[in-house]
């Protein structure tokens, strides 16, 4: 085998190893000639740069995957396609770094949002609870007021009904007086006729009969007036009864509405509904467990 063949076999051996991924092998000393020195130097340079690229590509990607974004792809000593690929890997590292920063920023703003939400919900639920307490107390006060108003109105109704009944009795009495007055008029007329027949002897009696007639007439007129007034009282009291009944109904309706408000605020055990202050507490607890999940 010639010296050249030997040198070529040595080169072939190293190239085969490198092709198989063994980048440790290098071309050994081939000979003193310029061609031999050049060939060895050129092939080893190729292997060195390939070796460097492979080491950088592996290490830079691993560092990126581990989040060590400060570790960059070293492009020094890399030319042409090596450099372009190296820069590409560097750019993807930068993109990963930016993504990681964005994710971190998003996480930070999520935590900040959670804090804000928590503060807002806590304040809100406290205010709802306070307002609910206030509303509950007001509703209970209104309900008591409505009950006593209904009682008062019912008593007023009784009084007016009593008034109607007694004015009916007055009318009855006045009717009686009227009948007596008419009877008395008739009587006084008869007395006047009898007095005239008696002549001079009946003159004094005739004066008395006239007086009685006048009295009876006056009585009749007065009782007519009384009846008119009693009629007016009865009409007015009928009106009053109608109005009082309407007022009582309204107050009863209002009382029902107030009970509804009280039930909404305080809760209603009979219908298993939850009160407003309890709902505020439920909201607070729910939001806090949501936030605990969001912060994790």
Partner 1 sequence: MKTKTTQVRPTGQERKFSDGELIVTKTDTKGILTYANDVFLRISALDEEDAIGQPHNLIRHPDMPRAVFKLLWDTLKEQREIFAYVVNLASDGAHYWVFAHVTPSFDDNGRVVGYHSNRRVPSRSAIAAADELYGVLRAAERRHDRAQEAVAAGHAALQRVLAERGCSYDELVWDLSTNGRAR
Distance CA 68, CA 70 (A): 5
Closest CB to partner 1 among residues 5, 70: 70
- As measured in angstroms, the least distance from the Cβ of 86 to partner 1 is 12
- Residues of this chain, 23-42, that bind partner 1 according to CB under 8 A: 24, 26, 29, 41
Assess 76 for contact with partner 1 (CB under 8 A).
yes
CA nearest neighbour of 47 among 9, 3, 16, 7: 16
CB of 71 to partner 1, least distance (A): 6
Min. distance of Cβ 62 from partner 1 in angstroms?
9
Report CA torsion sign: 147, 153, 157, 158.
Answer: positive
Closest contact distance (angstroms) between CB of 94 and partner 1 is: 9
Alpha carbon 276 to its chain's center: 10
Q: Does 69 bind partner 1 (CB under 8 A)?
A: yes
Runs of H (alpha helix) within the chain: 3-19, 34-65, 80-197, 203-266, 276-295
Site for partner 1 in 7-26 (CB under 8 A): 24, 26
295 binds partner 1 per the rule CB under 8 A = no
Q: How far is the CB of 47 from partner 1 (least distance, A)?
A: 9
Of the candidates 74, 163, 170, 226, which one interacts with partner 1 according to CB under 8 A? 74
Alpha carbon distance 76, 46 (integer Å):
15
Other Cβ atoms less than 10 A from the Cβ of 288: the count is: 15
Q: Which of 6, 48, 87, 194 binds partner 1 (CB under 8 A)?
A: 48
Q: What is the DSSP letter of 202?
A: G
């Amino acid at each position: 085998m010639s010296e050249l063949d030997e040198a070529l076999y040595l080169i072939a051996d190293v190239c085969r190893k490198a092709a198989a991924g063994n980048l440790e092998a290098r071309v050994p000393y081939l000979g003193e000639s310029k061609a031999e020195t050049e060939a060895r130097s050129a092939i080893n340079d190729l292997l060195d740069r390939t070796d460097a690229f492979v080491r950088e590509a592996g290490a830079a990607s691993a560092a990126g995957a581990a989040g060590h974004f400060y570790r960059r792809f070293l492009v020094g000593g890399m030319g042409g396609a090596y450099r372009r690929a190296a820069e590409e890997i560097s750019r993807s590292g930068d993109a990963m770094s930016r993504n990681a920063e964005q994710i971190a920023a998003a996480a930070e703003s999520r935590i900040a949002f959670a804090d804000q939400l928590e503060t807002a919900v806590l304040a809100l639920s406290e205010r709802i609870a306070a307002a609910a307490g206030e509303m509950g107390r007001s509703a209970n006060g209104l309900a008591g007021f409505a009950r006593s108003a209904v009682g008062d109105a019912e008593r007023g109704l009784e009084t007016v009904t009593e008034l109607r009944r007694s004015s009916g009795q007055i009318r009855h009495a006045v009717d009686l007086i009227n009948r007596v007055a008419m009877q008395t008029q008739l009587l006084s007329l008869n007395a006047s006729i009898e007095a005239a027949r008696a002549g001079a002897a009946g003159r004094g009696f005739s004066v008395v009969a006239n007086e009685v007639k006048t009295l009876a007439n006056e009585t009749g007129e007065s009782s007519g007036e009384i009846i008119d007034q009693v009629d007016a009282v009865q009409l007015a009291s009928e009106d009053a009864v109608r109005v009082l009944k309407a007022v009582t109904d309204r107050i009863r309706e209002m009382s029902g509405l107030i009970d509804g408000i009280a039930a909404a605020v305080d809760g209603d055990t009979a219908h298993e509904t939850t009160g407003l202050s309890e709902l505020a507490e439920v909201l607070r607890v729910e939001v806090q467990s949501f936030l605990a999940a969001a912060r994790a």
